Structure 1
Amino acid sequence: MLTNYLKIFIRNLKKSPAFILINILGLSVGMASSILIFLFVQHELSYDKYHENADRIYRVSRAWFNQDGATSLHLGHAAPPFGPLLQSDFEGKVKEAVRFLNVDVVLKEGQNTFEESRLFFADPNVFEVFSWKMVSGDGEKALSFPDGVILTESMARKYFGDQDPVGKSMEAIIGPTAVNLQVRGVMEDFPDNSHFKADFLASMEPVVQFYGGYEQMMMNFGSNSFGTYLLLENGVDPKALEDELPAFIDRHMQANAQGIPTSKGTKLYLWPLTDIHLHSNLDSEIEPNSSIEYVYIYGAIAIFILLIACINFMNLATARSAKRALEVGLRKVLGADRELLVRQFMGETIIMAVMAMLLALGIAYLALPAFGNFTGKVLSLNLLEHPEYLLGFVGLVVLVGILAGSYPSMFLSGFQPVKVLKGTYKIGSVHEKFRSILVVGQFAISIVLIVSVLVVLDQLDFMKNKDLGFEKDDIVVLNSYPEFTQNYEMMRDRLLQHPNIQAVAVASRVPSGRLLDSQGTQAEVNGEITPINVRVSDIHVSHSFMTTFGIDLVAGRDFDINLASDSTEAFILNESAVRAIGWANPEEAVQKQFMYGDRRGYVVGVVKDFHFESLHQPISPIVFLIPTNRINSVAVKISSENKEETISYLRDEWQAMRPDLPFDYYLVSDSFDQQYESEEKVAQVFGFFAGLAILISVLGLFGLSAYAAEQRTREIGIRKVMGASVASIVTLLGVDFLKLVLFGFLIAVPIAWYGMSIWLENFAYSIHVSWVIFLTAGISAALIAALTVSSQSIRAAMTNPVDTFKVQ
């Protein structure tokens, strides 16, 4: 039977090669798109599942709450005591606890000096929890040495080439501190599907010494920068354990001055390890995570593209129905029943689906490197490594065969032999309407994708061009180092001698970073010093910070370098902080008493609200103060002219002061733009697949318009004999299809509006979806449809009426 289907397929291929090839090409493009998206989705869903005990590993996160119960900050990190205390307090429930501290370092080995951002200090039991594989050395003992460090294979090659690195020494420079390390082992590179990736794992002992010893470290509940992971015992209910954590907090942390338990203001949560990548986008993450929303978006696009390809196949198959009507009539006369014909047509479709799958695999293989680079993922279509993919591909062939072949097979097998052989068989209105519904569906999907592209691009343009409330352009940021901060005034004056350098400032954080630092706040409200139960983030700055970034004052004054008291008693707030504290206006805040942490003084000024963070976050209350420590960045405002020459000058000055440190910098404007990379990728994905959807829809519309012209051949001939012009006939044939596009537009509008409204909720500041976007999408779809239909309509209208009647 299969041989018979294949013979019939080959016979039809010889008769109508263009029709068959277009059908196969349409299906293959839809299948290839689905395969690529499947690989991406499968990779996203596989994060951290390679660990042997992945289902029992949980990360501890910590949240803080305002007085009204609203979450003011939720970190993916915790304070250093929590890990060990959780393990000791919940013995029998928590089997292991391990902590990581990620720091930026300068690593030196012989003549090799590099800046590294993926060195993690870790507890020695790290391999009891995680299943990373050692290549050499003993992972269970390596980090028990105070100077122990484990390198990944990539880093071993980078620093030591082909030499065995075990036993070799390295020096890590962390701020003003130099730490000697000895390589105790080499491990495989972290798998790509890890929610964070380390290049180095170092002993936690230097960190313990930094905190002043183990006892001091275990009393520090304010330094929430440790990634903390628990391995639970078998059978432990994580939700039940999480419910016990408020009492755990109150056992180890004192109530505040008003006697309110600490657990009322802060809380610990347990996150399943395998959920972190797609479900955790907290205020601090070791690395930026993805989102389950994007997995849904990609999956929906794959379904849409595949559906459009199947609809396209149906339309092209039914458009050729007249060519096969006689065949069906003869087969029925010779005894073939409808079931046999259905099997025949379904068999032909399956053969075409198989051929389309083979072509799709070839397309996917060729496109995979580019798609992997675009998504930033290491994707593989190696069937030897993943034989289970074969089952998926077979399933996809069957699914496409059923979806694409069911309607055409039922339609073609339903021809009545008597009417077919007499030439009087006409297509019923039900079938006509169904094909119209298919076209409406195709264009509805295409318009939804077009609208999505336009909305994402509009939001990107809004974010990149919105006035952030300060001058972000032409500000170069360098990593600070002790020699610079200790000699800040001298270095500032030295840099300002260059004509293209306009201002210099230092700060603990600069705009485009996250506001993660805060302390307890008290302020004078109604004549009394009152605790403020709203989180106020702090930025330690030099006196020139506001002028360097062009931040406007709305009340009071800026820091004054000539007033010594400003370095110990002066505070500047933003407008959001003034409102959060409860003062009526910025003017009322000036000269009010203010306490922040252990510093007491007065508010000397209020700055206009500006966007320190990306537009994903609302503007937070901020306090600025002159630093005594925690200076991490040097901000240099340069002229927009001769940038390269100015940066070269900065490099020379840097290397003159610290020749042993690499020179690295970034622009604040670039840093802001980089925070919207995921949105840019979404726009590119929507744009690419919207183009594919439109291309396949055009093929379907081309087939349907060809079918319509074929069905109305005699009518067109009569109209031409009666004097109808080519333009009137083109209009006659085209209006019906434009109506279908209009119906598709009406269906697409509410769907696109709802979907993009939900997407825009990810931003604290966003555009309003304009009717212009919908109108643009609708007009674009209509023009594409009009051009497609007109090509067939003009061809039909130009046909000689004599030839038309001969055909009939």
Structure 2
Amino acid sequence: MFYNYLKIFIRNLKKNPAYILINILGLSVGMAASILIFLFVQHELSYDKYHENADNIYRVSRAWYNQDGEISLHLGHAAPPFAPLLKSDFDDKVKEAVRLMNIPLVVKDDSKSFDEEKFFFSDPEVFKVFSWKLKDGDAEKALTFPDGMVISESMANKYFGDQEAVGKSLELIIGSQKINMQVRGVMEDFPDNSHFKADFIASMEPVANFYGGYEEMMKNFGNNSFGTYLLLEDGVDAKGFEAQLPSFIDRHIPANSQGIAASKGTQLFLWSLKDIHLHSNLDSEFEPNSNIEYVYIYSAIAIFILLIACINFMNLATARSAKRAMEVGLRKVLGADRELLVRQFMGETIFMTFLALVIALMISWVSMPAFSNFTGKALSLNLLGHPEYLLGMIALVFVVGLLAGSYPSLFLSGFQPVKVLKGTYKIGSIHEKLRSVLVVAQFAISIVLMVSVLVVLNQLDFMKSKDLGFDKDEIVVLNASDELTTNYEMMRDRLIQHRGIENVALGSRIPSGRLLDSQGTQAEVGGELLPIDIRIADIHVSHSFMETFGMELTAGRNFDVLQASDSTEAFIINESAVRTIGWASAEEAVGRQFHYGGRRGYVTGVVKDFHFESLHQPISPMVFMIPTDRFNSVAVKLKAEHKDETLAYLKDEWQAMRPDSPFYYYLVADRFEEQYVAEEKVGAIFGFFASLAIIISVLGLYGLSAFATEQRTKEIGIRKVMGASIWSIVSLLGKDLLKLVLIGFVLAIPLAWYGMSGWLDNFAYSVSVSWGIFLVAGLAATVIAALTVSSQSIWAAMINPVDAFKVD
């Protein structure tokens, strides 16, 4: 029986090669795209699940509330006392509690030094919580030594080559401080599916010394730079545990001066380790996380493309039903029942789907390196190493085969033999309408994807071209140090003498970063000094900061180096802070008393609102002040015409001032660009897969129009004899299919508008989904469809009528 079906399939392939190839090609392209997307989605969903205790590991985050109860800041990190206090207060629930602090620093061996971004300090129990494997050394003891440090295999090769790393020493340079640490273990490189990756994990002792010892560190609830992770006992209800944290906060943090409990202003939350990568996009993370919405979007794209390919198959199979009507009639006369025919046609479909899968796997393997490089994920399609992948491929064949072949099989097997053999069988209108519905659905999906591409591109262009309120171009940022800040004025005077440097400034935060620092605020409102419960972020700057970045003051004056009081009493705030405090105007704010943290003074100026952070965030209330310390960065404004020369000069100066540190810099403009990499990838993925959807749809439309033209060849010949023009024939053949495309366009409008409006809600500042975008997408789809249909119609219209009547 199978051999008979195979012979029939091969016979049909020889008779209708274009039809078979269009179906197989459409299915293979759709399946290849889906395989790639599902590999990416599977990788996204696998983050941190490799840890043995992943189900019981939770990260602690900390949020602050405004007086209206809204969260003003939510950090993925917490203060250093929380981990040990949670362990001691809830010893029946918390099995282990550890802290990790990421401090980018310089690591030096005997001959060379490197900037290392992935350097962490941690508590010794970290290897009891996480399943990072040591290839050399003792995990339980490595970090119990004050100078203990564990490094990754990559770092062992980088610093020591083929030599034994354990027992060797490395020098850490943190600002002006130098610390010698000994390698006590070498761990495997972190898997790609980790929400953060460490190259170094060192003892917490140097961090504690920075605070003045462990006792002092345990009093510091203000520095929230510690990733705090809990390993809970089996069976602990995380939500129930989280509900007990407000009372925990009130036990350890005193009420404020008004007697308001600490838990009213700040709160702790628990995040399952497995949820961090896709669900946590807080104001501070060790590394940028992804978003579950993109998993949904990519999954939907994969399903849509598969659906379009299946629709192609159904349309072409039912459209060409007349070609197989006689075969079905004869089989029924010879005793074949409907069930047998359904099995035959479903078998043919599944066999075609299997062939499509083989081609799809070849396409996927060829495309995998480029797709992995594009997504930044280590994706692979190892069917032998991952049996679940093989099972997934088998399931894909049957799902696609059943989806694509179910309706054609039922339709073809339903032919009535008497009508077929008499030649009176006609396809019912209900089947014609269903085929029309499928074409409409196909192009509606394609147009939704096209609209999505245009919206994403519009938003990207908006973000990159929007005036941020300051000059971000040609500003180089270097890491500050005690040597630089102590001798800042001398350094600045020397640097601005160079013809390629316009200005130099210091800052604790630089535009394109996050505003994570804030302190308590009091301001003079209505003649009375009142506490301001809404968060105002602080930036410590030098006198030339505003000038260097080209920021515009709307009232008052800039910091003045000649006025000594500016270093102790002057504040500059932005317009958002003016509104937050309740002053009627920027002019009213100037001269008002302003107390911030431990400093008392006056507002000397108001800077025009500008975008310090990315356009994902609204403009925050900000205050600028001149401190005596806490400068993290040096900003140097360059002249574009001397950029390369000036960078070489800065490198020489840097090496003279900090001979132990490698020269590292970034451009503010580039940092803003980097913040939109995720959106750029979404746009590229939408564009690529929307193109595939259009290609698959065009293949199907081409097949349908070719078949429709073939069926009406004699009619075309008669019309030409009667004097019909080529244009009238082309219009006759194409108008019905083009109507379906236009209906698909109408249906796509609300779907695309709803989906992309939700995506744009992720941005504080965004474009709108305009009618122009819909018109461009609709026009593009119509033109593509028209060209596809007309290519067949023109060919048919130009056939010699004599040849048309010869067609069998």
TM-score under structure 2 length normalisation: 0.99
Listed as ranges, the matches of 1:525-540 within 5 Å are 525-540=525-540
SS in 1 for 2:144: coil
Q: What does residue 595 of structure 1 align with?
A: 595
- Provide closer, same or farther for how the CA distance between residues 423 and 740 of structure 1 changes in structure 2, counting only shifts above 3 A: same
Q: What does residue 259 of structure 1 align with?
A: 259
Listed as ranges, the matches of 1:152-231 within 5 Å are 152-231=152-231
Aligned-partner Cα distance in 2 for 1:782–1:559: 60
Q: CA-to-partner distance for each residue in 1:268-322, whole Å, 9 max, x for gaps? A: 0000000000000000001000000000000000000100011111222233323
Q: Does structure 1 residue 428 correspond to structure 2 residue 428? A: yes
SS in 2 for 1:388: helix
Displacement after TM superposition at 1:395 (Å): 0.7
Aligned-partner Cα distance in 2 for 1:371–1:720: 51
Listed as ranges, the matches of 1:241-280 within 5 Å are 241-280=241-280
| Conserved 8 A contact 1:319-1:703 | no
Aligned-partner Cα distance in 1 for 2:640–2:312: 53
Q: Does structure 1 residue 418 correspond to structure 2 residue 383? A: no
Q: Does structure 1 residue 19 correspond to structure 2 residue 19? A: yes
- Matched to 1:449, the amino acid is L
Displacement after TM superposition at 1:366 (Å): 1.1
Aligned-partner Cα distance in 1 for 2:149–2:108: 13
Q: What does residue 798 of structure 2 align with?
A: 798
Aligned-partner Cα distance in 2 for 1:608–1:373: 41
Aligned-partner Cα distance in 2 for 1:579–1:176: 41
Aligned-partner Cα distance in 2 for 1:495–1:214: 41
SS in 2 for 1:64: strand
SS in 1 for 2:568: helix
- Matched to 1:430, the amino acid is I
Displacement after TM superposition at 1:207 (Å): 0.7
Listed as ranges, the matches of 1:310-325 within 5 Å are 310-325=310-325
Aligned-partner Cα distance in 2 for 1:304–1:634: 50
Q: CA-to-partner distance for each residue in 1:518-549, whole Å, 9 max, x for gaps? A: 11111111111111001010000000000100
Q: What does residue 549 of structure 2 align with?
A: 549
Aligned-partner Cα distance in 2 for 1:422–1:711: 19
Q: What does residue 694 of structure 1 align with?
A: 694
Aligned-partner Cα distance in 2 for 1:790–1:190: 56
Aligned-partner Cα distance in 2 for 1:105–1:619: 30
Listed as ranges, the matches of 1:450-599 within 5 Å are 450-599=450-599
| Conserved 8 A contact 1:6-1:351 | no
| Conserved 8 A contact 1:308-1:693 | yes
Q: What does residue 704 of structure 1 align with?
A: 704
Aligned-partner Cα distance in 2 for 1:568–1:397: 73
Listed as ranges, the matches of 1:369-380 within 5 Å are 369-380=369-380
Aligned-partner Cα distance in 2 for 1:663–1:129: 36
- Matched to 2:249, the amino acid is I
Q: What does residue 746 of structure 2 align with?
A: 746
Aligned-partner Cα distance in 2 for 1:315–1:641: 61
* CA RMSD between the two structures: 1.1
Q: CA-to-partner distance for each residue in 1:690-733, whole Å, 9 max, x for gaps? A: 00000000011111112222333333232222111111010111
Deviates more, 1:20-29 or 1:596-605: 20-29
| Conserved 8 A contact 2:149-2:184 | yes
| Conserved 8 A contact 1:44-1:295 | yes
| Conserved 8 A contact 2:22-2:700 | no
Displacement after TM superposition at 1:680 (Å): 0.1
| Conserved 8 A contact 2:22-2:703 | no
Q: CA-to-partner distance for each residue in 1:582-621, whole Å, 9 max, x for gaps? A: 1111111111111111111111000000000000000000
Listed as ranges, the matches of 1:51-66 within 5 Å are 51-66=51-66
- Matched to 1:121, the amino acid is F
Displacement after TM superposition at 1:364 (Å): 0.9
| Percent identity of equivalent pairs | 75
Aligned-partner Cα distance in 1 for 2:177–2:519: 25
| Conserved 8 A contact 1:591-1:602 | yes
- Matched to 1:330, the amino acid is L
| Conserved 8 A contact 1:57-1:129 | yes
Q: CA-to-partner distance for each residue in 1:479-503, whole Å, 9 max, x for gaps? A: 1122111111111111111112111
Q: CA-to-partner distance for each residue in 1:729-749, whole Å, 9 max, x for gaps? A: 101111111110110001100
Q: CA-to-partner distance for each residue in 1:420-476, whole Å, 9 max, x for gaps? A: 333333222111111111111110000000000000000000000001000011111
TM-score under structure 1 length normalisation: 0.99
Displacement after TM superposition at 1:26 (Å): 1.0
SS in 2 for 1:366: helix
- Matched to 1:162, the amino acid is D
Q: Does structure 1 residue 133 correspond to structure 2 residue 147? A: no
Aligned-partner Cα distance in 2 for 1:541–1:436: 66
SS in 1 for 2:503: strand
Displacement after TM superposition at 1:803 (Å): 3.7
- Matched to 1:767, the amino acid is V
- Provide closer, same or farther for how the CA distance between residues 27 and 275 of structure 1 changes in structure 2, counting only shifts above 3 A: same
Aligned-partner Cα distance in 2 for 1:274–1:459: 31
Q: What does residue 402 of structure 1 align with?
A: 402
Aligned-partner Cα distance in 1 for 2:176–2:482: 6
Q: What does residue 777 of structure 2 align with?
A: 777
Q: What does residue 442 of structure 2 align with?
A: 442
SS in 2 for 1:259: coil
Aligned-partner Cα distance in 1 for 2:417–2:639: 83
Q: Does structure 1 residue 668 correspond to structure 2 residue 668? A: yes
- Matched to 1:591, the amino acid is G
Aligned-partner Cα distance in 1 for 2:11–2:145: 76
Displacement after TM superposition at 1:806 (Å): 4.0
SS in 2 for 1:641: helix
Displacement after TM superposition at 1:244 (Å): 0.6
Aligned-partner Cα distance in 2 for 1:18–1:742: 27
Displacement after TM superposition at 1:359 (Å): 1.2
- Matched to 1:6, the amino acid is L
Q: Does structure 1 residue 648 correspond to structure 2 residue 667? A: no
- Matched to 2:411, the amino acid is F
Aligned-partner Cα distance in 2 for 1:440–1:552: 54
| Conserved 8 A contact 2:19-2:703 | no
Displacement after TM superposition at 1:323 (Å): 2.5
Q: CA-to-partner distance for each residue in 1:633-692, whole Å, 9 max, x for gaps? A: 111111121311111111111112112211111111110010000000000000000000
Aligned-partner Cα distance in 2 for 1:796–1:329: 31
5+ residue gaps, structure 2 = none
Q: CA-to-partner distance for each residue in 1:538-569, whole Å, 9 max, x for gaps? A: 00000000010010000000000000110011
| Conserved 8 A contact 1:346-1:406 | yes
Aligned-partner Cα distance in 2 for 1:589–1:354: 73
Q: What does residue 729 of structure 2 align with?
A: 729
SS in 1 for 2:409: helix
- Matched to 2:278, the amino acid is L
SS in 1 for 2:181: strand
Displacement after TM superposition at 1:23 (Å): 1.4
Aligned-partner Cα distance in 2 for 1:168–1:786: 71
| Conserved 8 A contact 1:556-1:604 | yes
Aligned-partner Cα distance in 2 for 1:15–1:722: 33
Runs of 4+ in 1 over 6 A off after TM superposition: none
| Conserved 8 A contact 1:577-1:622 | yes
SS in 1 for 2:185: strand
